Every structure is written in structure tokens, then in C-alpha cells.
Structure 1
């Protein structure tokens, strides 16, 4: 009986296995049916210099593909992006045009977020290079174009803002051809197609003077005709290259990228392999999503050539290792800031004081999602050294953290150096492009020459303005932006971009980036009477009835030396009354610093205190006696 029962159980198991196998066959067939035909896919990225109209162009493309757009710059969905008017992170949107599925990637234009551009170019088949028809190619135009040409992409050139009276399409096209040639573009890449457009008015045309009533259709036609379809196969094993990572409180880690081969459905086992071929983790796909218009929707199949976002559940599946997929290398960071726990007397008043471990957990998680930053333990303190592309990028990182209620202290930015293949110390050198009024060119050249900048080009532009181009070490540009704004009365335009690693010069001219500072020697609330007496000493950073503490920087001194002052000293009360004694104190408006300008302003042995409500500057050593003794050493 036991043998018969065993045989019966074996028979039932075989029948159940057969039923599962047969039921799985229609699923496979269904997956193949639902998979996208790669020949009907087009993957393109929109790349450009900052403020040349990428996000606006994306909005008009969405509108002409029957996607409801409620307001301008819908692709810039983050609060910081809308407040600052810039794109910070790359975003993917997918639209349907005729029988084609167009995956459009909107990328940042600021040089500090160049890592976002580098990583998304690896998952597209072409790029739409957007150039202002008046300004022409700028610093970031050269950077993004060089990255696209290095990946053998043939860009489609769009001259935007062609409707402006100052537009000069012929001259800009000539400048673009020279730029392509200087970047060693191939003959095929030099034969680029030009589309004329006004993203603001919502039209594109092949003729700068006509055809303005067809919307974005001419540009969509060129994307369909000139962007090659993905060269992939649905029959090969599933492979997926990850270019962007994000977190969801319910789904966990979400990986966005391009399917390089095969198809995948929910429940399929996968594993993650690093660039060097090391297996990181095994997982199972739990959700497959894709951007359709302005929303991320669930799709049944991730098929070769498409750009999808996949959520996975990590487990201990046993899967054979495969070779890693090729991915473009990301340029290394050039500047670093040390993040410390806030230990000022006002800590905990406005937000949450993070412990070093909690701060480290947040920064390491952010570094996993942002490929252009790196986090390391600081050898000189208990803080964490965060490396990035520029002060703006790191400032955005800090702003995100403070909006979550955190308090922290930041060191002044430092320029990173490295050893080349021959063992020589090299430092980053940046290409600086400045457009100013003719009256300000002398002051700009004088200040930058003192910072070891070399003038490489100077030419007039529209109006009484001049365009200057420099090559300057990155360390010479630390703290220069506030000086530039002051010298140009806020009318100058400055763009900078990494150029090369060059041998570090043994000596550098002594450059005073600022004067001395006024340091509070008492704690309490500032008094108008005391501040009025200090106005003759310099420019104040605080107003009346603001909390200060010993060691806090409250102003800039008129001389090149720091002095300790008392901003909380109250007015002496007497029984004697006169008209002059009782008059109200009138203070000049105090200077307020944003987060980025404060980071650029502080010097060595100083910190920036960041809380959810305030940005303060302070000395690293608060006690004036201890600070004086350390200076003597």
C-alpha cells in the first residue's frame, strides 16, 4: 500500500507539473505578443546649454502628441526645479506618434549636473541638440555635444528661439559646424540636419522664415526618420542597463534604464552585475513600469529597445553569472565639502540634529542614486566628505536635506587633485565664458588674472557687450561668483565647465576673496542700538531681534582683518529725556546670503550652519580666546 501511495503521489505531481508547463506556454506567447516591435521605437535625448529651452520643447512635444499639459515646464516636477527654474535630474517621457513610440529624455543644462547627461546618453540612439539662435553654442553645449559624439551619436540640431528679432541662424549654424569640427566629429556627424523652432510659441519648421503653422510635427518627423531604431533582439536572454535609481516607500528600489535584449515579465529572476563583472545581488522583478506622457504606468512586458522602470525584490536566487553590459564612464568629481553634525549653541531650535551615523546613512543612499557624487569618511574630522561637480550641485544636495528637517554644518569647498599616469599632481581647470557690458571688461580681466586665469578669446556681441573666454584653475574660482555679481552690478552672465586636468602650479598669487568679518563675542538677541553702532565698521548680515551666539559671523569688516564685536549690547536707560535721545534707530538693510553664496563666502576655519529655516556662518572655534591662541601657533 505504501508503494502504491508513493506511485500515486508521483503521478499526481507529474500531472500538476504538466498542467503548470502547459499553462505557461500561452503566457510566453502572450509576452511576445505584447512586446514592442523594436523597429517602431525611437529613443532620443534632448541636450543643451542651460536656459536654451529643453523643458519647454518637451512640453510642446507632449501637447502635439495629445498629452494634456496643464502648465509650463511640466517635466520640471520637483519643487527645487520649479523654484530655481532649472532642470536638476533627467526625466523620461514616452509619447505615441503615428505607429511609433518615442522615448524622449529631458536632461539638465547646468554644468554641475553634467553627470545626469553622461549617464542617460548611454541608453538613447540619438540626441536632439538644442541651441539658442541668438546666443549660439555655449560652454555646456560643447560639453554635451562632446559626450554625444564620443558615443557615435548623430545629433539633430534644433535652433530654438528663432522668432526673436536678434536671431542669427546662419552665423549660429556656422559656429556649430566649427564646434563639431573642433570635437573631431566624423563626416557623417558633420552632415547634421537643422530644424528651426520656437519652443515658446510651439512650432518647428525646416525653413526659418516659413512653415510656422504645423506645431512640432516637422521635428517629430525628423526624429522618426533620422533617429535609428534600437539594434536589439527579442529572442536573446533578457538584459537591462541601469542608468537611474530611485526609491519608493512601497516598491523599494526602482531601476530605470534601457532593455538591451530579450523580454521580461513580473516574477522573472534577475541579478545585478557591476561594471567590473562582480555580482551585486540577486532579485526578482516585482513591477514593470514605463513613462507614458506625464504619468508612470504599469506595463506587462519589458521588451528589448524600450526604456522602462523596474522594481525588484532581492532574494537568494541562484542564477549563473553573465558578462556585464557596457556603460559610459562618468567624469570624476572636482570639488568636495565636509558635512558635519551641527554643534552650535542654536542646534535643535529649528530642526532635527542628525547623528553622524544617520547623516552617513542618508548620504550613502543618495550616492547610490546620484552617480556624479561620492561619499567618504573625512580623515581630519568625524564628518563625511562629499565630492561632486560644483558648488551648485552640492548646494542642491544640502537644500534637499534641510527640507527634510535636518540641521548640519558645512566646511568651505575644496578643490580635488589627483596623480596622473606619470605621478605628477594635477588639478581641474575650467573653461569660463563671461558676457558683460563693455564698461566692466577691465575689472573682470583684472580680477581673474589675479586668480591665474588665462584670457583665450574676446569678441563683441549684440549691443554694447563683450564675450570673454578664460581657462582658469577651479581653485581660483572659489568664492568668485559674489565678486562677479558685484563687479557687473548683476548684469553679467557667467558659465563655467570642466575643461581638463592640468599640472598644479607650485605657487599661486595671493588673492583676497573677501575682507575680514565681524564676529559676535556675545550670545543673545541682537539690539538695534548695538547694530547701529556697528554699521560704520562694515556690512551687517543680521538685523535687529535675531538670535546670535559667540563665534557667529554677523557681518563683513571694512578692513582685511577679523574683529570681535558685541551686537547684543542694550541701550543704557536713564531718567534724562531729550529729542535726540529718544529718536528711533534706522538701520540699512542687511545683506542676506543664500545657501550657495554662503558656501562660497566662508574661508578656512569657518563653517556654514544650515537649518530648515536659517543659513548662518560661524567660526569653527567659537571661543575667541581659544581661536586667538590657535592663530598664534
Structure 2
């Protein structure tokens, strides 16, 4: 068959999306005079801003008469659910590894999934033009990783290509060539054509698309037989139910778009229009003799957060969707395509418990909702605790940090304070490579502290490892916060006088309300302050008393930094234009009563 299905997998920032760009240019998808730009596949605003792939996407290119379906996958551990489902569409994988960093935690995670599915790997060592690169050592490390993951004899015999995605060349040796032709030829040579098992129609839905004209569209790979327009099929669902439905239209992927067809043979990836009430993992099967494929299994979430309606005094001022019904509908809709997410109702009708893979996974969901016009309140992220053999257990992660040698001791100190244990310490060029095992709780708030301690030089990555016994209390934030005493507009006069108390998250002239967190205290313990006090104006003037207010700029915090910063009695108010931190109980007297009753219970 003249089809090859290949997924590109790698750790975050190793160059997957850049490689897809080069494949698109090599196969003349764009006209010579057409502006295409970079990161063609990262077409979502959030992906371009953060420089990471969040959603997996596929394109199709034609090379030497062979159709190659290329699937670009996310590299971040938090979006592992995305990778796990799309690998089912591939017959081979390109494992991209940075020539300096070598295999990283996420490389191990995605490679393990690919080897379990018996996919043929091609190893590409990228960025060989970088200083300090060590392609031969990295090749040995990749072989060792394959061996440790119980790769078969055939998988261990992987072909390797070297090159630079940014400069647009890949070759089977370290010799520089003109373009990526050797790699494209390697895909045709090493990736097997799709197998064609005997039997009736089977196609698993591994992704979904949406069109305002056509509604929800099921995307997947035809595993057996063929699928036709206007054909009657049976939709086999995960709960065991089966529904007869009719295929209205069929599309195959062509370059960056889709092309309408009347029939799709086994082995190709297609989009099916006309099927209703389907979920990812369901099987489209023959109408008369349906057979279901195994349901896609996705690793369990490790963290949860409380999402609720915005109940601050500024409720409804900024967003379009503010009620609990809006919030519930949006979260349920997200679970349809985001397999690693779970939503659970709580005792209150206004709040929901949302389970996810990590802070970035939940942060991207909140950021997306904010941009769509939702107002909501989110609580502190909590790890999911399980009872295993009667013992209280929590999730542990493998943390990898690459840092200049002079900062290594600071990193070790920070991680060990948070109950992390060092497993590996080795030198990579001028950098120190450190590996730790740390409870997931210890990672909350660690990134900000580590970047501060290492002057922004640390590169850290982590992935879920296993559930292990509870490690005890982990120290949280050292300093308290400054809380607004009453509602009003902040004044330069008041903030100037309060500067020796701490640093601020607000500027003069900003609207605040009672109970809102407006800054960080210099000392432990919270402090209620009045940032709205105006200067008393009289006719009397004294020389030197009218010095201009000299106020430090406010500290700007991203949504993820706020999520890591807040404590259990605090929450974040998220609206389309503002992110504010506040106390869960706004009234000071009520907070004191609540703290007393909690102490009495303890």
C-alpha cells in the first residue's frame, strides 16, 4: 500500500513542530511565493504564546507517490493523554532527541507507549549544530533506554539520522547535506505499510474535530476493511451499548486540509461526518456483524482542583458566562476530547472537582476558558491520595534538572527540603545533570523558587512515576500575604507608606475589594492593610513633606504561578481580563472564627 502513518514523539522543546514544518516545505505543500511562517502546526494562540504543542494534529504529504500521514504530538508530560490516544493511528514513530540533552523523562514516557504498541522507531538526533552537543553519547543513551524498556530485537535495530531541524537538513551520518531527503527516504524504507487484516469494518475514534456547519466529526484510522459514504454502521461504545447510524460524508487528510472522498480503505486516517453521540475510544464497526476494538486506556490523573462560580464582589463585571450551568456545560464538553480530565460534582451546586495530570494541564484549561469569556474561581491544586494495602499513598514523580555547576548545590537543597531524594548526579559539558524522586506535592511552587535561585538558568522536567507511601508535611510558602481591608481604589500615597511591609501585586489606581490579596508580606503571617487611604489635604505646607511617591512596579504573575503560590485558604478569581488572588473567606472576623474552629477540631 502507498500509505505510511508516522507519529513524531519527543520531550518538550526538542524540535517536533519544526521538523513537521521542514517536511511540509520538502514536499512542496506551499507554493514558492507563499508565506508559511514557522510552527505551522501550532495554530492555536495559546500554543504560539507558550511555544509548546498542546493538541496533537495530523497532516498528510505526498512524497515519491506515497502518502505519508504525519502526526505531531505534544511533548509535555501533562498532555500525555493526547499522545496515548493518537499513537493508535501510527505504524511507526520518529523519536526526536536533542543532541545535547539526550533522552529526558518525557522521552521515556512516550517511547514506552510506542514500544508497547509495537511501532517501528526511527531515531533522529536533532540540533547537532549546537555547542557542547554530544551525538555519539546521546545515541548510546537512546540505545540503553530502548533496552531498559524491553524493546524487541527488531525495535533495538533502529535506524538513526543526524541533523538540524532549524537549518533544514538530516542525514544518516554526521555529514551535512542539502535537505531532509535522506530522512524522507528513511521513512519510506523503514516504516511498514499498514497491515490489512481480514474481516469486517473496524475503525477506532481517536480524535474529534468540530465544524460549525457539520457539527462533531470523528477522526480515526480504518483498521479493517473499508468505510463508504452513506453506509450504515454500528457505533460500539465503551459502556457496551451499540447504535445503528449512517455515515453522511467522508474526508481524508491532504496537506494542511481535508478532501472529500466516497470511500476510505484500511490503513488510512479519515474524518467521518454524520455520527452522533460518540466519544473518543468508541469503535465504528460493521452494521450486521459488529466487533469492538479494545478501549483506549489513559493513565489516571494525579491532581485535582476545585472550580466554582466567581463569587467575589466583582462578579459579572467582566465575563459573558458566569453561572454554574455555563461552567458545568463547558467542563463536561472538555472531558469529551480531553481524555486525562475528570469532572466530579461536589456537595455544592456551584462548584466542581476537576481532576487532571498536573498544573500545566489544568492551567491550560483555565486559560482557554478565560479567553472564551468565562468567569470562575479556582482553589489550590491538591494531589490525589490513595489508600494502598491500608497505607496512605501519594503520587511521586521523577524530576530532572539541568543547571550550571555553580547552582547545583542550591537546586539539591531546594528539592531535598521538599522531600525529594537524589538518584543521579552527572556532568554534561558545562551543565550538571540531576535526577530526583519527589512527591508531586513537592513540585507545586518549586519552579518559581528554582528559577529565582539559579538566575533563570535551570531547565527542569518531570513525569509521573508511581504511588508510594505518604512523606509527611512539606514546607509551603514562607511569607504571609497583604490583604485589602476594604473595597476601593488603591492610592499612590497609601502604597508608598506600606512599601516597607512587603511587595505589591497591584498598582496605584486599581480597584480592590475586602479580602483580596494585594501583595506579599515580608514576614510570615498575613497582614490586613488599607491601600485606599488618600492624603489629607490642608492649606498648611511644610518643606520636605511633599516628596513624590516612589513606588516599585507591581509583581506580575502568570496563572500557573498564582496556582503554585496560593495556600489552602486562598483561591484565584479568573476573568477574561483579570487574574486576582483572594482569601476564600473575605471577611476578616469570619476568617478568624473559621481558623479557631479548625484548631479546635484538630
TM-score, normalised on structure 2? 0.94
Gaps of 5+ in 1: 1-38
- Counterpart for residue 7 of structure 1: none
Structure 1 pair 479–379 and aligned structure 2 pair: CA distance change class (3 A) = farther
Residue of 425, 432, 440 corresponding to 1:458: 425
- Counterpart for residue 159 of structure 1: 125
Question: For residues 40-71 of structure 1, what are the alpha-carbon distances to aligned partners after superposition, in whole Å with 9 as ceiling and x for unaligned?
Answer: 11111000011111001001101111111611
Question: For residues 81-134 of structure 1, what are the alpha-carbon distances to aligned partners after superposition, in whole Å with 9 as ceiling and x for unaligned?
Answer: 111111000001111111211111000011111111111111111100000111
- Counterpart for residue 545 of structure 2: 581
* Residues 43-52 or 159-168, more deviating: 159-168
Aligned residues: 587
**Deviation at 1:315?**
9.4
- Counterpart for residue 30 of structure 1: none
- Counterpart for residue 483 of structure 1: 449
**Deviation at 1:489?**
1.8
Q: 2:183 aligned with 1:219, yes or no?
A: yes
**Deviation at 1:353?**
4.5
**Deviation at 1:423?**
5.1
- Contact 2:201–2:286 (Cα < 8 Å) also in 1: no
**Deviation at 1:139?**
1.2
User: Using the alignment, how far apart are the partners of 2:136 and 2:588 within structure 1?
Assistant: 63
Gaps of 5+ in 2: 279-284, 598-602
- Counterpart for residue 19 of structure 2: 57
- Counterpart for residue 40 of structure 1: 2
Residue of 522, 536, 539 corresponding to 2:500: 536
Residue of 514, 525, 542 corresponding to 2:478: 514
Question: For residues 580-617 of structure 1, what are the alpha-carbon distances to aligned partners after superposition, in whole Å with 9 as ceiling and x for unaligned?
Answer: 23332110111111111111111101110001111000
Structure 1 pair 441–321 and aligned structure 2 pair: CA distance change class (3 A) = same
- Counterpart for residue 63 of structure 2: 97
Residue of 274, 277, 287 corresponding to 1:312: 274
- Counterpart for residue 433 of structure 1: 400
Question: For residues 166-191 of structure 1, what are the alpha-carbon distances to aligned partners after superposition, in whole Å with 9 as ceiling and x for unaligned?
Answer: 22111111111111111122222111
- Contact 1:160–1:197 (Cα < 8 Å) also in 2: yes
Describe the SS at the equivalent of 2:47. helix
Residue of 331, 339, 343 corresponding to 1:363: 331
- Contact 1:95–1:293 (Cα < 8 Å) also in 2: yes
- Contact 1:341–1:353 (Cα < 8 Å) also in 2: no
Structure 1 pair 369–512 and aligned structure 2 pair: CA distance change class (3 A) = closer
- Counterpart for residue 350 of structure 1: 318
**Deviation at 1:407?**
0.6
Describe the SS at the equivalent of 1:406. coil
User: Using the alignment, how far apart are the partners of 1:186 and 1:236 within structure 2?
Assistant: 28
- Counterpart for residue 249 of structure 1: 212
Question: For residues 508-542 of structure 1, what are the alpha-carbon distances to aligned partners after superposition, in whole Å with 9 as ceiling and x for unaligned?
Answer: 14413331000111101100111111110111111
Provide the alpha-carbon RMSD of the alignment: 1.9
Describe the SS at the equivalent of 1:536. helix
Question: For residues 372-423 of structure 1, what are the alpha-carbon distances to aligned partners after superposition, in whole Å with 9 as ceiling and x for unaligned?
Answer: 1111112467311111111111111111111111110001101012344x45
**Deviation at 1:165?**
3.7
User: Using the alignment, how far apart are the partners of 2:484 and 2:414 within structure 1?
Assistant: 31
- Contact 2:321–2:327 (Cα < 8 Å) also in 1: no
- Contact 2:202–2:291 (Cα < 8 Å) also in 1: no
Structure 1 pair 318–467 and aligned structure 2 pair: CA distance change class (3 A) = closer
Structure 1 pair 246–417 and aligned structure 2 pair: CA distance change class (3 A) = farther
- Contact 1:284–1:314 (Cα < 8 Å) also in 2: no
User: Using the alignment, how far apart are the partners of 2:91 and 2:530 within structure 1?
Assistant: 63
User: Using the alignment, how far apart are the partners of 2:289 and 2:571 within structure 1?
Assistant: 48
Question: Which of the two has higher C-alpha Rg?
Answer: 1
- Counterpart for residue 296 of structure 1: 258
- Taking the TM superposition and a 5 Å limit, the aligned residue runs for 1:116-195 are 116-195=82-161
- Counterpart for residue 631 of structure 1: 595
Structure 1 pair 299–385 and aligned structure 2 pair: CA distance change class (3 A) = same
User: Using the alignment, how far apart are the partners of 1:82 and 1:307 within structure 2?
Assistant: 26
- Taking the TM superposition and a 5 Å limit, the aligned residue runs for 1:380-529 are 382-420=350-388, 422=389, 424-463=391-430, 465-505=431-471, 508-529=472-493
Segments of 4+ moved more than 4 angstroms: 315-321
Question: For residues 440-466 of structure 1, what are the alpha-carbon distances to aligned partners after superposition, in whole Å with 9 as ceiling and x for unaligned?
Answer: 222221221121111001112222x31
Describe the SS at the equivalent of 1:128. strand
Describe the SS at the equivalent of 2:556. coil
Describe the SS at the equivalent of 1:574. coil
User: Using the alignment, how far apart are the partners of 1:459 and 1:525 within structure 2?
Assistant: 53
User: Using the alignment, how far apart are the partners of 2:69 and 2:223 within structure 1?
Assistant: 15
Q: 2:339 aligned with 1:339, yes or no?
A: no
- Contact 2:487–2:512 (Cα < 8 Å) also in 1: yes
- Contact 1:95–1:101 (Cα < 8 Å) also in 2: yes
User: Using the alignment, how far apart are the partners of 2:192 and 2:53 within structure 1?
Assistant: 27
- Contact 1:450–1:509 (Cα < 8 Å) also in 2: no
